C-alpha cells in the first residue's frame, strides 16, 4: 500500500501536471502566494520603518521626556527658569533605562536678511547634549563646539537656509525679544552646520546653538535653564518611564513624554498598524482562495487515481494527505519566490532610497524600511499554517468520491 501512495504522490508532485488542465491554475496559485508574501513583507517593513523613523526624529529634536517648570504650560519657548542642580542630573539614579539627561532652553527670535525674514525657535544646548541625531542628518559643515567661553556657532536646517538664501559659514543677524526691554536684542551668529531631517514641522524654524546665549538674553545665571530632556534606552518603555520620571522629580516640576506632547502625530502613525493588519488579512485570504481552487482542480483532475487508491484499500485520510502535502509544497514554492523578491526589493529601497516622498506630508523624504528577521519569519510561518488549515475542509471532497464510479470517470 505504501508503494501505491508513493507513486500517487510522485504523480501529483511531478512534472505531469505542467501539461495538464491544472497547470495555469497552479501557476496562478503559486503567484498569488508569492505576491501575497511580497506585499505583506513590504507593508510590515515600511509601516515599522515609518513609525521608527518619525518617532526617532521627534525624540531627536525634543528628547523622549521633557522636564520643565509647571508655569511653562508646554510652550515652545522657555518662559520661566528652573535650577540645573537637581538630584536626577546629570544621572537619573532612581529610574533605570535612562540613556542621557541633557539641559536646554528655548528662545523665540527672528532671522533677518536684506530681502527676507523668518521666525525661529533658538534651542540652546550644552556640552552634555547628545549629537547623534544631528550627526546623522548633517549635510554640510560641522557641529557646534561649546568648549569655548563664547560660542556663536549655530546649526540651521536646509529648509531655512534655502528659504532665506543663506550659505555655510555665513554670519546671520538674529533678533530676540527680551521680556524686560521694548526693543529686541540683535545678535550675530555663524552658520557652522546645515542639517536636513526631512521633518518640516521642526526644520522650518529650529536653530540649535549655545544655551549660554539664551541665559544672557534672559538675564539668567549659569544654573538657570529652561528644562531637561531625557533620552531613553528603549522607546517602547516610554509610557512606563514617563510615569516613573514624573514620580521622581520635584513637586514644582512637570514632565511630559513626546507621545503625549505630539499625540496627533503618534495617533497618525499608530494607524499604520491597522492598515498593515488589514493588508495581511486580505493577502492571506486571497492566497488561500487561490490555493483552495488549485486543490479542487487537482482533485477533480485525479478522480480516477483517487478511485484506484480507494479500491486498493487506502482510507480517505491517507488520500487527503497526498493532496494536502502537495498543496503544502506549492505554498512553500510561492513563499520561497516571494521572500527572494520581497527581501530584494526592501534591500534595494533601504540602500538606494529609490522611492521618495513629500516631507511636508509624510515627515520623511524617502520610504523608510525596517527589515526585521522575526517579523518576516512569523509572516512566512503564519501564511503557511493558515493557508494549509484552510485547505483541510476542501480536501473533504475526496471522501465523497465513489471508487467504482470514479474508475470509470473520464
What integer pLDDT is reported at residue 197 of this predicted model? 94
Characterize 92-129 residue by residue with b for buried, 16 or more Cβ atoms within 10 angstroms of its Cβ, and e for exposed: beebeebebbbbbbbbebebeeeeeeeebbbbbbbebb
What integer pLDDT is reported at residue 21 of this predicted model? 60
329 and 378 in contact (C-beta within 8 Å)? no
Name the residue with cell 492566497. 287
What integer pLDDT is reported at residue 400 of this predicted model? 81
What integer pLDDT is reported at residue 75 of this predicted model? 72
Please state, in angstroms and rounded to a whole number, the distance separating the CA atoms of residues 185 and 189. 13
Q: Where are the domains of the chain?
A: 2-56+266-406, 103-225
Assign a CATH topology to domain 103-225. Answer: Barwin-like endoglucanases (2.40.40)
204 and 111 in contact (C-beta within 8 Å)? no
What integer pLDDT is reported at residue 259 of this predicted model? 96
Using the 8-state DSSP alphabet, how is residue 251 labeled? Answer: T
What integer pLDDT is reported at residue 15 of this predicted model? 46
Closest CA to 194 of 152, 161, 171, 170: 161
Please state, in angstroms and rounded to a whole number, the distance separating the CA atoms of residues 293 and 311. 26
pLDDT per residue, tens digit, the chain (410 aa), is 454 455 555 555 554 455 556 678 888 889 999 999 999 999 999 999 999 999 999 999 999 999 999 876 667 888 889 999 999 999 998 899 999 999 999 999 999 998 899 999 999 999 999 999 999 999 999 999 888 888 899 999 999 999 999 999 999 999 997 666 567 788 899 999 999 999 999 999 999 999 999 999 898 999 999 999 999 999 999 999 999 999 999 888 999 999 999 999 999 999 988 999 999 999 999 999 999 988 888 888 888 878 877 777 778 888 888 888 888 888 999 999 999 999 999 999 999 999 998 887 888 889 999 999 999 999 999 999 999 898 988 888 877 887 767 666 55
264 and 201 in contact (C-beta within 8 Å)? no
**Global confidence as pTM:** 0.86
Amino acid at each position: 500500500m505504501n508503494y501505491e501512495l508513493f507513486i500517487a504522490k510522485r504523480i501529483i508532485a511531478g512534472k505531469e501536471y505542467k501539461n495538464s488542465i491544472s497547470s495555469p491554475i497552479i501557476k496562478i496559485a503559486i503567484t498569488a502566494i508569492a505576491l501575497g508574501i511580497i506585499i505583506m513583507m513590504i507593508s510590515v517593513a515600511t509601516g515599522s520603518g515609518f513609525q521608527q523613523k518619525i518617532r526617532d526624529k521627534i525624540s531627536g529634536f525634543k528628547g523622549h521626556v521633557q522636564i520643565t517648570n509647571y508655569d511653562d504650560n508646554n510652550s515652545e519657548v522657555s518662559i520661566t527658569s528652573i535650577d540645573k542642580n537637581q538630584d536626577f542630573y546629570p544621572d537619573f539614579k532612581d529610574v533605570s533605562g535612562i540613556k542621557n539627561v541633557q539641559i536646554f532652553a528655548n528662545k523665540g527670535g527672528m532671522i533677518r536678511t536684506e530681502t527676507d525674514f523668518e521666525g525661529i525657535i533658538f534651542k540652546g544646548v550644552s556640552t552634555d547634549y547628545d549629537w547623534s541625531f544631528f550627526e546623522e542628518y548633517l549635510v554640510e559643515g560641522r557641529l557646534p563646539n561649546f568648549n569655548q567661553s563664547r560660542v556663536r556657532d549655530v546649526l540651521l536646517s536646509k529648509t531655512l537656509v534655502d528659504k532665506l538664501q543663506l550659505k555655510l559659514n555665513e554670519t546671520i543677524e538674529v533678533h530676540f525679544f527680551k521680556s524686560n526691554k521694548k526693543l529686541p536684542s540683535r545678535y550675530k551668529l555663524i552658520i557652522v552646520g546645515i542639517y536636513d531631517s526631512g521633518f518640516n514641522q521642526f526644520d522650518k524654524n529650529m536653530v540649535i546653538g549655545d544655551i549660554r546665549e539664551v541665559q544672557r538674553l534672559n538675564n539668567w545665571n549659569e544654573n538657570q535653564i529652561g528644562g531637561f530632556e531625557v533620552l531613553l534606552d528603549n522607546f517602547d518603555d516610554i509610557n512606563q518611564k514617563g510615569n516613573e520620571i514624573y514620580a521622581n522629580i520635584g513637586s514644582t516640576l512637570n514632565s511630559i513624554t513626546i507621545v503625549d506632547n505630539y499625540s496627533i502625530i503618534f495617533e497618525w502613525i499608530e494607524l499604520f498598524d491597522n492598515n498593515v493588519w488589514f493588508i495581511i488579512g486580505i493577502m492571506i485570504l486571497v492566497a488561500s482562495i487561490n490555493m483552495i481552487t488549485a486543490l479542487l482542480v487537482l482533485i477533480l483532475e485525479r478522480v480516477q487515481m483517487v478511485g484506484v487508491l480507494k479500491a486498493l484499500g487506502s482510507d480517505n485520510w491517507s488520500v487527503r494527505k497526498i493532496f494536502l502535502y502537495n498543496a503544502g509544497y506549492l505554498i512553500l514554492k510561492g513563499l520561497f519566490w516571494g521572500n527572494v523578491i520581497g527581501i530584494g526589493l526592501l534591500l534595494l529601497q533601504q540602500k538606494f532610497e529609490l522611492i521618495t516622498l513629500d516631507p511636508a506630508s509624510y515627515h520623511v523624504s524617502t520610504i523608510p524600511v525596517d527589515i526585521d528577521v522575526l517579523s518576516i519569519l512569523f509572516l512566512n510561518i503564519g501564511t503557511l499554517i493558515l493557508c494549509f488549515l484552510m485547505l483541510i475542509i476542501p480536501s473533504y471532497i475526496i471522501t465523497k468520491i465513489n471508487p467504482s464510479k470514479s474508475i470509470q470517470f473520464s
